[in-house]
Chain A
């Protein structure tokens, strides 16, 4: 019964055709143009652009802060998902509804709000200054901004999986003599890991490409706090299309390799 017949339910040709044409016109052909444009560069030129110190610094910063934000989300996202699924407590519904705020809030708004919060004269920024470090206009500020915009990913991918693990599994493990931490390590973590990695990968991919929330808080100092998407913007403002394109291709390539690696890791966990 899982087989679907093509004769009874009409519309296969129409919907598939429309889907392919729409995707091609809007997504595939334009993305193709990006790669076509890079072919105008020789290999040596391409390498020269993407290995410029400023590009490498931005590359390190973008992927580094996106990674840090994804890890941080991995921790607080797990905490939030766990608490929202397992406990009933006052205010739970509010937190549950507000988790998606970062997806609903325009990133530019998030950007200026976080800057106001973490800048040296902001409420938290001041506190940090008193303690002798700075948040805004540093990689830490970028990481926090990325953590904000990608916060829902880990929570939302973990929630359904957590809800599907019956409490009986934990109780059964406890009956077999497992201590609470052993239950977490041997029962919960293995069950959650694939979903956790999915959430991590989504947050990471979004973080690498994120622009709006970061540029306000980053300070945008070349070599120090300049992210890759901003560097593309800078090149575009200088009408350096080839440079912008090369960085774009670099960014897409590195992202895809990393996502592929995460995907492979996930499969190994699922089958191993």
Chain B
């Protein structure tokens, strides 16, 4: 099931939430809507779901314009940021809800519903929690139950609003890998909203980078990282240093795009070591440059020869080596 967003505009009072959004999502793709808070990504997701009506433009699911179709007839699965589990129902009843709400003619028997619910709970590996209430579950468990509930009605599109936003860092990592694997298994066209670039890079087939209600760039993780369409995308996708070369020219480079040396070398610049922070495989060195306001951050392998015996206040030479394509093409 493909998703097409055609020239969608949305305003909330004076605030332009979305402006001329065009987006085409292939059947079976897993797409991330990435951007800072307030960029319109959640509004776009809600418009695709039918929870919000665009001021203009249309939503086309599998070649069919569904803009005027009621939310219950769009056949989309939606996972809310805070899951929106029905707090007065057990996990089982939560997952069964969509099946039980079907019109009498289409409603499966309770036995079929039970089988289906257990199948889904097995899929999310939480069958043993069927009789619990949402308040008795951990955040990660709620998340997976919300997913099972959304899948119960066999949607053709799965939409997830900040699916990992409310979880702590460790659970977050586990769950997003699990979601990526699940997507490979069910192969449902899926769109998820996130403000975390690492999450988008790790999970998505394609990333839609948004800012201030417009799409900045659409591409695979490798494309948007290697060929950022704008300085915004460049900055949003990872840490960046800006080095002022002269009045007009400056160079952008990521912390790992740097060479370090204890000795002065041609084309190397001198800096004073301000901080050394081991981060596991990498070590981050913060350098202060004379006449430069912002410090430069460099990340090198923890076994880099230049680090041996290095202390604060010492002099260190560095050379930015930005990959040529990574320079944002505009802005």
Per the CB under 8 Å rule, do A and B touch in the complex?
A: yes
Does B71 have its Cβ within 8 Å of any Cβ on chain A?
A: yes
The verdict on A3 contacting chain B, using a C-beta distance below 8 Å, is yes
Per the 8 Å Cβ criterion, residues 37-63 of B in contact with A are 42, 46, 50-53
Interface string of A80-113 (1 = CB under 8 A from B): 0000000000000000000000000000000000
Interface check A19, CB cutoff 8 A: no
Q: CA of A35 to CA of B53 in the docked complex: distance in angstroms?
A: 44
The reply to whether A8 and B42 form a contact with Cβ atoms under 8 Å apart is no
Chain B residues closer than 8 Å to A7, beta-carbon distance = 50, 52-53, 70-71
B56-86 toward A: CB 8 Å interface, digit per residue (1/0)? Answer: 0000000000000011000000000100000
Tell yes or no: B128 within 8 A of A by CB: no
Q: Return chain A residues, CB-CB under 8 Å to B50.
A: 7-8
Distance A239 CA – B81 CA, assembled complex (angstroms): 64
Map CB proximity to B onto A1-44 as digits: 1 under 8 Å, 0 otherwise.
10101111000000000000000000000000000000000000
Overall SS of chain A's interface: loop
Contact B53 A1 (CB under 8 A): no
Contact B12 A3 (CB under 8 A): yes
The 8 Å CB contact of A5, one of B42, B52, B81, is: B52
Q: CA A7 – CA B50 in complex, angstroms?
A: 8
Nearest-neighbor residue (CB-CB) of B70 within chain A: A7
Q: Which residues of A contact B70 (CB under 8 A)?
A: 7
B51 near A5 (CB under 8 angstroms)?
Answer: yes
- Cα(A1)–Cα(B51), bound, Å: 11
In angstroms, Cα B70 to Cα A1, docked, is 20
CA distance A5 to B46 in the complex (A): 10
* Chain A interface residue number, banded: under 10
Instruction: For B47, give the chain A residue with the smallest CB separation.
Output: A5
Taken together as a complex, chains A and B put the C-alpha atoms of A6 and B46 apart, in Å, by 13
CA gap between A5 and B70 in the complex, in Å: 13
> Separation in Å of the B109 CB from the closest CB of chain A?
29
Give the CA-CA distance A8 to B53 in the complex, in Å: 9
| Residue of A whose beta carbon sits closest to that of B68 | A7
Chain B residues with CB below 8 A from A1, complex form: 42, 81
A8 to B42, CA, bound (A): 16
| Inter-chain contacts of A6 with B (CB < 8 A) | 53
Chain B residues with CB below 8 A from A8, complex form: 50-52, 71
The residues of B that contact A3 with a CB separation of less than 8 Å are 12, 52
A12 to chain B, nearest CB (A): 13
By a CB distance below 8 angstroms, the chain A residues around B46 are 5
- How far is A7 from B55 in the complex, measured between Cα atoms in Å? 13
In the bound assembly, the distance between CA atoms of A8 and B52 in angstroms comes to 8
Residue contact B53 to A5, C-beta cutoff 8 Å: yes
Contacts of B52 in A (CB 8 A): 3, 5, 7-8
Q: Which chain A residue has the least Cβ–Cβ distance from B162?
A: A1
Contacts of A5 in B (CB 8 A): 46, 51-53
Cα distance, A1 to B45, chains bound together (Å): 11
**Distance between B59 CB and nearest chain A CB, rounded to angstroms:** 13
Chain A neighbourhood of B51, CB < 8 A:
5, 8
CA distance A3 to B53 in the complex (A): 12
B81 / chain A contacts, CB cutoff of 8 Å: 1
B46 to chain A, nearest CB (A): 8
**In the complex the two chains form, what is the Cα distance from A133 to B6 in whole Å?**
84
Q: Which residue of A lies closest to B46 (CB)?
A: A5
A153-B19 Cα distance, complex, nearest whole Å: 50
Complex: A8 Cα to B71 Cα, angstroms: 7
A6–B52 alpha-carbon span in the complex (Å): 8
Residues of A with C-beta under 8 A to B42: 1
CA distance A3 to B52 in the complex (A): 9
What separation, in Å, do the CA atoms of A5 and B53 have in the docked complex? 8
Residues B1-40 near A (CB distance < 8 A): 12
Closest to B81 in A: A1
4 interchain residue pairs of minimum CB distance: A5-B52, A7-B53, A8-B71, A8-B51
10 A/B residue pairs, CB under 8 Å, sorted by A: A1-B42, A5-B46, A5-B52, A6-B53, A7-B50, A7-B52, A7-B70, A8-B50, A8-B51, A8-B71
Give B contacts to A, CB under 8 Å: 12, 42, 46, 50-53, 70-71, 81
Given contact pairs A8-B51, A8-B52, A8-B71, a sample of 4 additional A-B residue pairs in the complex whose CB atoms are under 8 Å apart: A1-B42, A1-B81, A5-B53, A7-B71
